[in-house]
Structure 1
Amino acid sequence: MTNLDCSVTGCFYNEDKCCMKENILVDGKDATENSETCCSSFKEKGCGCNTNTVKNSKKEVDVSCEATNCMFNDACKCQAEHIGIAGGNACNCKETECASFDCK
C-alpha cells in the first residue's frame, strides 16, 4: 500500500485530502512527465446532490499504475512509499495528475 495525499478537492472520493477509495488507477501509459498522467479513478463531486456517505478516509491506498515509464512502477503497481495526486477543483480525470511521477 502507498501513502496517498490527494489535493483533488473536486473528486467525490476526496475527504480532507485523503482518498475514500480503497484503490486507484493512475493512467499514462506513454507518460514521460507528470502532466501526461491522471487519476482514472476520479469521479466528479457534482452539484451537491451526490455526497460520499462512506467515512473511511485513509492515507494508505492500493495504487495500480499504467505509467510504465515511472521509476516507481513495478508490474503495474506503484511501489512508492508516498505519492500525491494533484488537480485542485478538477472536473474530469484529465485535469488530475500523479505529482510523484518520476520518469526512468
Structure 2
Amino acid sequence: MSRQLSCSALDCVHNMSGLCSANTIHVLGSGAHTSNQTMCNTFAEKGFKNSVAHFPNMNVTGEIRQLLNNDSIEMSPSIKCESVNCIYNEDRVCMAHNVQVSGPRAQSSQDTVCETFRMQ
C-alpha cells in the first residue's frame, strides 16, 4: 500500500524536504490514548555517524525518484506501529493513507509524535 508520510522533524536524518526517506518507520506508544503519547522511534539526528548507521533503512530508490519528480510523492515508507489503540492500526501496521509525524525541534525520538493517531 502506498502512503504519504510527511514529517516536521527537520533535524532527522530521514527527513528529505518534509518527507520521510526511510524504508520503514516504527511508531511507539502501545498504551497511547493521545498523539502526545506516541513517538517515531526511527528518528535519528542528522549527522555523518547517524547517516552511516541508518543507511540500511534508507529508501535510496525512492529518494532518487523523488528528486526527479516533484509532481508526486515517490517515497512511501512502511509503518510499523505499536499504538494498538489507534483506529489505523491493523496487526501493528499503520493503514492510514496520509501520516503526519511532528517534531520541529526534535533532538530525539521522545520529541516526536504521530499526529495521525486517533483513538478507536
Q: Is the 8 A contact 1:85 1:97 kept in 2?
A: yes
1:35-86 CA-to-partner distances (Å, cap 9, x unmatched) read 000000000114xx55858661644110000000000000000011111000
Q: Per residue, is there more strand in 1 or in 2?
A: 1
Match of 1:78 among 94, 112, 117: 94
Give the percent of matched residue pairs that are identical in Structure 1 and Structure 2. Answer: 28
SS in 2 for 1:42: coil
Consecutive aligned runs of 4 or more in structure 1 exceeding 6 Å deviation: none
Q: Is the 8 A contact 1:24 1:40 kept in 2?
A: yes
Structure 1 unaligned regions, length at least 5: none
CA RMSD of aligned residues (A): 1.9
Q: Which amino acid aligns with 2:28?
A: D
User: Which has the higher Rg, Structure 1 or Structure 2?
Assistant: 2
Total equivalences in the alignment:
102
Q: 1:11 and 1:64 mapped to 2: Cα distance?
A: 18
1:101 aligns with 2:102: no
